[in-house]
Amino acid sequence: MIVALAQLNFVVGDFEFNTRRIVQSIEDARRQGADLVVFSELSVCGYPPADLLNMDGFVQTCLKQVDHIAAVCQGVAAVVGAPSFNDGPKGKKLFNSAFLLSDGKVQFRYDKGLLPTYDVFDEYRYFEPAEVFHTVPFMDKRIALTVCEDLWDIGPRPMYRFHPMDQLAKESPDLIINISASPFSWNRCGERLSTFAENARRYNLPVFLVNQMGAHSELIFDGGSAAFNAAGELAGRFEPFEEGLRLYDLNALGGAAGSGQVPADDPAVVTNQTAAGPGQEEKNALLLDALCFGLKDYFRKTGLKKAILGLSGGLDSALTLVLAEMALGKENVWAVLMPGPFSSDHSISDALSLAGNLGVRHDILPIDPVVTSLEDSLQAFFGDLPRDIAEENIQARARAVLLMGLSNKFGHMLLNTSNKSEAAVGYGTLYGDMCGGLSVIGDLYKTEVYSLARYINREKEIIPRNTMEKPPSAELSPGQKDSDSLPEYGHMDPVLFCYIEREMHPDEIVAAGHDAKLVNKVVRLVNASEFKRKQAAPVLRVSQKGFGVGRRMPIVAKYC
């Protein structure tokens, strides 16, 4: 049996586009001699469809497309993912299903049994979990057909009370196929490989994984589809963030890695990656690829063409501009420098140097007249009260008003330039520097921003050295530095990582070796800023716990 894996970039709800891509891949696979071609989870409608699943018309249209795809499966079979209706007397009205199509019709349907509700997932909101599982007869083989989580729940403490694969194993399958929609995070690519390798070893069966590729709102899917032999050795995998079609000979996957049609990756490299995670340079390469891909795909799928951002001379806006230029092209990016009452000369010169290095359009639009006008309007109320954060926020909001005016007039989407450290502790102005339609680096801590900037500058200076070396500052008051209000980022970010990514209690963070006073201050700032994050732009998610749908915290609470 020749199995083809199709790693494609689908669009949620674009049935015509998705079906066309699926049909084209089926025809390509048939010409190349494939017997079976496999697509990702919910491939027909795109993942995640969210509350679109509540519309019966959406599901009915999806199932019509499944029948259309089945009609072209002559001389070759296909596995596609789509929702299906639950005809039983109880439970939710839908299943998350995988369909085996051949000889012009649907031959078999497998319904997903394990429905994740953690992090960004909320599948039990829509789907009924299956309880009975059977293998699929195809050619002279039996296929253990599974959907994403049905193979993920493996390890010392399983999340679920049963394993669908254990039931399937009782029917003596010859291979495992898994269709997935596993989102990208910089430290999870290796975990995915190790999880599916462990399944191959546990059941002594070849495993074929097809994972979704593409950016869907804030979620980024890298693909990383792969094949493993029965010993759990990697027989081949797709490059992240790239579409493709690859064929494997099932009969050749029972022995050593590399015995399939595709040259093998070095198992030692895979082992090292899964054991220790990526090194710093590899992490930065992954982050760079993911953020550029996520930004580019967001614009492509929304029909947007051009971006605008405020370029301050600081590192966050500098990195955002570089990413935008790489993703969208210099002709589609507009940088606006908006010096204010306390902007330094070097901030302006640094911003001009960067814009020149990238060749993007850039203009200078001072905010002093706007700030003066707003302060004059408020003078009757502010009186002789000392200047404080109120006046600082006026400057940030003046910039946002001007940027949004340009955005509205010329149709450029405003990119937000805030980082994760700032978003975590509320170091940003609502309706000011938190403005924007998409937060590009909002899932990078400040220390990660520095690291990625150094990686971008590894061969030549793109981001000016002075931007990298000067103390971070919002420049909203004389001589202001971030460290006047916040702990140093090098001390604060590890605490944030423990509290946000690892979800540790403050006492646990202190027990891990962090200063108690620092921990208490950071946690207090994070909790007090939840209301700001609820109003923030969507963030491109590249970590295991980003702000957005994957982190749901109450605005009003007294726990930590």
Into how many domains does the chain fold?
2
- Residue 539 domain-assigned (yes or no): no
Q: How many residues does the chain have?
A: 560
- Residue 222 domain-assigned (yes or no): yes
Tell me, yes or no, whether 271 and 368 share the same domain: no
Residue 431 token pair: 């309706």
Query: Residue 471 has what pLDDT?
Result: 85
Tell me, yes or no, whether 353 and 262 share the same domain: no
- Residue 133 domain-assigned (yes or no): yes
Q: Cα separation of 6 and 223, whole Å?
A: 10
CATH number, position 190: 3.60.110.10
Tell me, yes or no, whether 341 and 220 share the same domain: no
SS3 527: helix
Residue 533 token pair: 């994050």
- Residue 517 domain-assigned (yes or no): no
**Contact at 8 Å (CB) between 237 and 223?**
no
Query: Residue 277 has what pLDDT?
Result: 67
Query: Residue 66 has what pLDDT?
Result: 98
Tell me, yes or no, whether 377 and 395 share the same domain: yes
CATH number, position 310: 3.40.50.620
Q: Cα separation of 141 and 237, whole Å?
A: 23
Q: State the catalytic residues.
A: 41, 112, 148
Which residue, 447, 482, 517, sits at the end of a domain? Answer: 482
Tell me, yes or no, whether 8 and 102 share the same domain: yes
Query: Residue 258 has what pLDDT?
Result: 35
SS3 268: helix
Tell me, yes or no, whether 241 and 353 share the same domain: no
Which residue, 261, 276, 291, sits at the end of a domain? Answer: 276
Which residue's entry shows tokens 């799928």?
301
Tell me, yes or no, whether 242 and 263 share the same domain: yes
Tell me, yes or no, whether 456 and 474 share the same domain: yes
Which residue, 482, 506, 529, sits at the end of a domain? Answer: 482
**Contact at 8 Å (CB) between 228 and 206?**
yes
Instruction: Provide the residue-wise pLDDT of the chain in tens; the chain has 560 residues.
Output: 999 999 999 999 999 999 999 999 999 999 999 999 999 999 999 999 999 999 999 999 999 999 999 999 999 999 999 999 999 999 999 999 999 999 999 999 999 999 999 999 999 999 999 999 999 999 999 999 999 999 998 877 888 988 999 999 999 999 999 999 999 999 888 899 999 999 999 999 999 999 999 999 899 999 999 999 999 999 999 999 999 999 999 998 863 333 333 323 332 233 233 345 689 999 999 999 999 999 999 999 999 999 999 999 999 999 999 999 999 999 999 999 999 887 777 889 999 999 999 999 999 999 999 999 999 999 999 999 999 999 999 999 999 999 999 999 999 999 999 999 999 999 999 999 999 999 999 999 999 999 999 999 999 999 999 999 988 877 667 877 888 889 999 999 999 999 999 999 999 999 999 999 999 999 999 999 999 999 999 999 999 999 998 998 999 988 77
Tell me, yes or no, whether 271 and 357 share the same domain: no
Nearest to 118 by CA among 544, 557, 539, 526: 544
User: Cis peptide leading into 48, omega within 30 of 0?
Assistant: yes
Q: Cα separation of 462 and 448, whole Å?
A: 17
Tell me, yes or no, whether 103 and 230 share the same domain: yes
Q: Is the pTM of this model over 0.95?
A: no
Q: Cα separation of 389 and 407, whole Å?
A: 27
Tell me, yes or no, whether 157 and 99 share the same domain: yes
- Residue 544 domain-assigned (yes or no): no
SS3 55: coil
- Residue 550 domain-assigned (yes or no): no
Query: Residue 253 has what pLDDT?
Result: 84
- Residue 528 domain-assigned (yes or no): no
Residue 219 DSSP one-character state: E
Secondary structure (DSSP) of 129-192: PP-----EEETTEEEEEEETHHHH--SSS-SSS--HHHHHHTT--SEEEEEE-----TTTHHHH
- Name the amino acid, one letter, at 202: R
- Residue 538 domain-assigned (yes or no): no
Tell me, yes or no, whether 264 and 290 share the same domain: no
- Identify the domain containing residue 442 by its residue range: 282-482
